[in-house]
């Protein structure tokens, strides 16, 4: 395929504005969040005193935590972009273009949409920088230190575009572009119960470590142990998550008495792994909320007998950092849900129009797709919090007695996150209703 | 002749400057199978949508008389009332089936009944009965992606019947099928509608499909050119 043909094929089709705008906005949000979070984190790298290392390590942990929801959002945006304009892609196949050639068109298109979105994200990050600069660390606002150097901005922007390209390639593996149309592969892989066995073994090991580590003594041993347990926890969540969602959906399917409940359970069962990808960011966040919330609460108690000004500042800053990380991850999950739902609505617009013809109330389908997100989300958020609670049970027990406020913080963060995702599901309702109206 | 189940008078409908319907009068009797034939852009699908209460005409009216009696002016109803009428009194079969890919065959059929308030167990039982009657026994738990085009269309036919619809509207129901499967689907469609005393309205451009119906209505440029009764 030559460049002129490619240019012709990439020209926006009439009426495809939403199809391009949604992933572009998603990429703008992704890149703005990454630039803002990295900008905030890099402010700590300019510090050279004794305590700087702690801040730098914690900032690095926060960044690592944001990678998963970021990848989920980037992947959702890329898949949405790559799966659009299906008629055009299937027409290409009809004209004799190979599957590879059509893939190239889809991937290039996704990349271009990502470039536009990322440029918007850079502008958004510039707009957010003065606000982020107001966040206090060590008793002072971060100020202009949150602004990244131009080369770092360029690197992050390029990285986000690269993520979009890679996600588009991976996303295309899940769709079949044939001369008769573009469709999702009908049999997504089913999570196996062996995952649960491995996960239970990992939780048992982590639980044992949770009892042993505090007794070893030494701050470094405790931190190393906690980081290892944290890693085990994340591994367990990812192993067991899709399987648990599948079991939960099966139970709901058996009990379903209304069309919305039946449909919601089937949507989850249809792609438990995909559903998990959508909500896994919340799993990480709620896991971290229990884990880090307990940690901060305990440190607060431990240092309360004779706290130095530095200790107090560190604790306050850790709490601030925790909240920022949680807010960022929930924002990404919210965006990811909105983008994935928009993608599904656009994918199934013919079906939705036909349901309208059949007289199916739009509210029934809307309730089903919201339930298909919120039910796994609640299972995930509460399950992850429980998983973290089991892993650090001894420490959580101490925190419960000595600093009950930490529990309130955890509950508030979880509630806020769930509410945010619920709002994200409402965002796409007008799109669904438009699809219904035809 | 019995009272028309569907009666249309002076239907007009435009999309921008394009006139899709230009004063259509049509009456359809209970138990009849009517094929609406015409070239692409003749207004046949718009006519079906207006008759079924999917859209409202800009002028004219559509009357529906259910088996229980008492005429309803479909074209005067609001969106919510028309939706209710469609799900409770009409059935639909589309060219591509347009079944829910996440659901099994029996669930796709049962869902239509559940939406009208039938309890799940009863809806499932009714759905299984219709699937069996249409030759799909043993395929109840298959997903739509696991069925052939003809089988999927028969699921769509079962879905159109499970609520006890007195009129079934079919828009190019065999358009995506080969001639052999097309004939089988028409057999199933006719058996499940006129064979049970119900009414069938089919939009088609296929003369073979039209020939299976008791009457053919020819449409061109938004007008009914005439109708011919099958020999």
A29 min Cα distance to partner chain B (Å): 31
Residue B101 to residue A360, Cβ atoms within 8 A: no
Taking the CA of residue A260 and the nearest CA in chain B, the distance in Å comes to 9
Give the residue from A283, A194, A282 showing the smallest Cα distance to A233: A283
Do residues B170 and B35 lie in contact, with contact meaning Cβ atoms separated by under 8 Å? no
Closest-CA distance, B167 to chain A, in angstroms, reads: 12
Distance CA A130, CA A128 (A): 6
Nearest CB to B120; choose among A256, A267, A357: A256
Q: Looking at the complex, does the CB of residue B100 fall below 8 Å from at least one CB of chain A?
A: yes
pTM: 0.76
Residue A217: count of CB within 10 angstroms of its CB: 9
Q: What is the CATH number of domain B6-96+165-229?
A: 3.40.50.300
Return d(Cα A45, Cα A325) in angstroms, integer. Answer: 18
**Over the stretch B143-183, which tens digit does the pLDDT of each residue have?**
888 888 889 999 999 999 999 999 999 998 888 788 888 88
How many beta-carbon contacts under 8 Å exist across A and B?
A: 66
Query: In b/e form, how buried is each residue of A358-390, taking b as 16+ CB within 10 angstroms?
Result: bbbbbebbbbbbbbbbbbbbbbbbebbbebbbb
Surface-to-core class of residue A95, CB atoms within 10 Å of its CB (0-12 exposed, 13-18 middle, 19+ buried): exposed
CB B200 within 8 A of CB B212: no
User: What is the distance, to the nearest Å, from the Cα of residue B3 to the centroid of all Cα atoms in its chain?
Assistant: 20
| Nearest CA-CA distance, residue A256 and chain B, Å | 8
pLDDT, residue A185, reads 44
Query: The tokens of B165 are what?
Result: 């619809």
Contact yes or no for A354 and B85 at CB 8 A? no
Residue A375: CA count within 13 A, CB half-sphere: 27
CB atoms closer than 10 angstroms to residue A254: 8
**Residue B163 neighbours by CB under 8 Å, 6+ apart:** B87, B88, B91, B112, B113, B116, B118
Q: Hey, is A56 helix, strand or coil?
A: helix
Of B98, B111, B159, the CB nearest to A351: B98
User: Which residues, listed in sequence order, are joined to residue B8 by a DSSP beta bridge?
Assistant: B26, B62
8 Å CB contact between A329 and A284: yes
Please indicate whether, in this complex, the C-beta atoms of B98 and A263 are within 8 angstroms of each other.
no
How many alpha carbons lie under 13 Å from residue B84 in its C-beta half-sphere?
A: 7
Please name the member of A257, A262, A359 whose beta carbon is closest to the beta carbon of B86: A359
Task: Give phi and psi for B202, each to the nearest 5.
Answer: -115, 130
Q: Is the Cβ pair A357, B92 closer than 8 Å?
A: yes
B51 touches chain A (CB under 8 A): no
Residue B199 neighbours by CB under 8 Å, 6+ apart = B5, B6, B28, B29, B30, B31, B32, B33, B34, B166, B167, B168, B193
Please, are residues A431 and A18 in contact by the beta-carbon 8 Å criterion? yes
Tokens of A352: 């939705």
Query: B132 pLDDT band (50/70/90 cuts)?
Result: very high
Q: What token pair was written down for A74?
A: 């980037």
Task: Determine the residue of chain A that is closest to B101 in CA distance.
Answer: A186
Report the complex ipTM: 0.85
- Summarised one tens digit per residue, pLDDT across range B55-100 is 999 999 999 999 887 889 999 999 899 999 999 999 999 887 788 8
Alpha-carbon gap: A203 to the closest alpha carbon of chain B (Å)? 33
Nearest of B195, B102, B100 to residue B156 by alpha carbon: B100
Distance from CA of A355 to the nearest CA of B (A): 8
Segments of chain A scoring below 50 in pLDDT: 182, 184-187
Contact: A360, B92; criterion CB under 8 Å: no
Q: How many CB atoms lie within 10 A of CB A12?
A: 11
Contact criterion met (CB < 8 Å) for B100 and A257: no
At A311 the pLDDT is: 72
Which pLDDT score, from 0 to 100, does residue A86 have? 57
Best B97, B100, B104, B127 residue to mutate vs chain A (most A CBs within 10 Å): B100
Cα–Cα dist A130/A125, whole Å: 9
Q: Are B174 and B205 in contact (CB under 8 A)?
A: no
Q: How many Å lie between the alpha carbon of B226 and the closest alpha carbon of chain A? A: 27
Dump strand ranges (E) for chain B.
6-15, 18-28, 33-37, 59-64, 72-73, 90-93, 167-171, 199-204, 215-220, 223-229
Which of A178, A275, A357 to mutate to test binding with chain B, by most B CBs within 10 Å of its CB?
A357
| Residue of B33, B32, B62 whose CA lies nearest to B47 | B62
Which residues of chain A does B82 touch, with a Cβ-Cβ cutoff of 8 Å?
359
Residue A154 neighbours by CB under 8 Å, 6+ apart: none
Among candidates B111, B110, B108, which has minimal Cα distance to B126?
B110
Given this model, what pLDDT does residue B3 score?
81
| CB-CB under 8 Å, A263 with B111 | yes
User: Nearest CB to B120: which of A257, A270, A358?
Assistant: A257
Rounded to 5 degrees, what are φ and ψ at A14?
-60, 135
Test the B interface: residue of A269, A344, A358 with most B CBs within 10 Å: A358
A270 contacts B111? CB cut-off 8 A: no
B96 touches chain A (CB under 8 A): yes
- Residue ranges per structural domain of chain B: 6-96+165-229
Strands B72-73 and B33-37: unpaired
Question: CB of B132 within 8 Å of any CB in chain A?
Answer: no
C-alpha Rg value of chain B to the nearest Å: 17
A382 in Cβ contact with A285 (< 8 Å): no
């Amino acid at each position: 395929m030559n460049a002129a043909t490619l240019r012709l094929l990439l020209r926006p089709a009439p009426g495809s504005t939403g199809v391009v705008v949604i992933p572009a906005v998603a990429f703008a949000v992704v890149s703005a969040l990454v630039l803002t979070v990295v900008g905030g984190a890099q402010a700590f790298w300019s510090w050279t005193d004794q305590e700087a290392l702690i801040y730098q390590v914690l900032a690095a942990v926060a960044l690592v935590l944001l990678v998963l929801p970021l990848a989920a959002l980037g992947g959702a945006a890329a898949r949405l972009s790559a799966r659009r304009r299906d008629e055009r892609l299937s027409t290409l196949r009809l004209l004799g273009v190979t599957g590879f050639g059509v893939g190239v068109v889809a991937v290039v298109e996704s990349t271009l949409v990502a470039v536009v979105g990322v440029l918007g994200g850079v502008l958004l990050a510039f707009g957010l920088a003065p606000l982020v600069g107001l966040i206090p660390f060590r008793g002072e606002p971060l100020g202009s230190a949150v602004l990244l150097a131009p080369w770092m901005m360029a690197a992050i922007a390029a990285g986000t575009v690269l993520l979009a390209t890679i996600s588009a390639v991976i996303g295309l593996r899940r769709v079949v572009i044939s001369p008769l149309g573009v469709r999702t592969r009908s049999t997504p892989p089913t999570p196996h119960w062996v995952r649960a066995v491995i996960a239970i073994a990992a939780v048992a090991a982590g639980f044992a470590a949770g009892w042993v580590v505090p007794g070893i003594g030494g701050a470094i041993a405790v931190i190393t142990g906690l980081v290892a347990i944290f890693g085990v926890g994340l591994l367990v969540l990812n192993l067991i998550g899709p399987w648990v969602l599948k079991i939960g959906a099966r139970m709901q399917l058996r009990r379903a008495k209304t069309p919305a409940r039946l449909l919601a359970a089937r949507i989850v069962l249809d792609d438990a792994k995909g559903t998990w990808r959508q909500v896994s960011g919340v799993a990480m966040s709620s896991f971290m909320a229990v884990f880090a919330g307990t940690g901060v609460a305990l440190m607060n108690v431990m240092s309360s007998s004779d706290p130095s000004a530095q200790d107090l500042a560190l604790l306050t800053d850790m709490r601030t950092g925790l909240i920022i990380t949680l807010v960022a991850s929930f924002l990404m999950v919210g965006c990811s849900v909105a983008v994935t739902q928009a993608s599904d609505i656009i994918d199934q617009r013919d079906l939705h129009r036909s349901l309208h013809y059949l007289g199916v109330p739009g509210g029934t389908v809307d309730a089903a797709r919201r339930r298909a997100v919120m039910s796994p989300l609640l299972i995930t958020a509460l399950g992850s919090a429980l998983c973290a609670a089991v892993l650090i049970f001894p420490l959580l027990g101490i925190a419960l007695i000595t600093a009950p406020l930490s529990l309130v913080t955890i509950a508030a963060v979880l509630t806020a996150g769930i509410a945010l995702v619920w709002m994200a599901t409402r965002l796409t309702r007008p799109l669904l209703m438009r699809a219904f109206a035809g | 002749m019995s009272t028309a189940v569907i009666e249309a008078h002076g239907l007009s409908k435009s999309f921008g400057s394009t006139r899709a319907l230009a004063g259509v009068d049509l009456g359809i009797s209970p138990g009849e199978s009517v094929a609406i034939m015409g070239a692409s852009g003749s207004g046949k699908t718009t006519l079906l949508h207006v008759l079924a209460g999917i859209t409202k005409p800009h002028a004219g009216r559509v009357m529906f008389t259910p088996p229980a009696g008492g005429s309803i002016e479909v074209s005067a109803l609001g969106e919510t009332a028309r939706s209710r009428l469609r799900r409770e009194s009409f059935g639909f079969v589309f060219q591509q089936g347009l079944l829910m890919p996440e659901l099994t065959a029996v669930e796709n059929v049962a869902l239509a009944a559940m939406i009208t308030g039938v309890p799940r167990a009863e809806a499932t039982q009714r759905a299984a009965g219709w699937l069996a009657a249409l030759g799909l026994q043993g395929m109840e738990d298959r997903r739509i992606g696991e069925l052939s085009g003809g089988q999927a269309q028969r699921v769509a036919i079962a879905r159109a019947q499970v609520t006890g619809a007195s009129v079934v509207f079919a828009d190019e129901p065999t358009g995506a099928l080969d001639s052999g499967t097309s004939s089988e689907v028409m057999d199933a469609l006719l058996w499940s509608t006129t064979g049970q005393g119900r009414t069938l309205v089919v939009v088609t451009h296929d003369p073979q499909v039209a020939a299976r119906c008791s009457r053919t209505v020819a449409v061109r440029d938004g007008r009914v050119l005439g109708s011919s009764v099958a020999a």
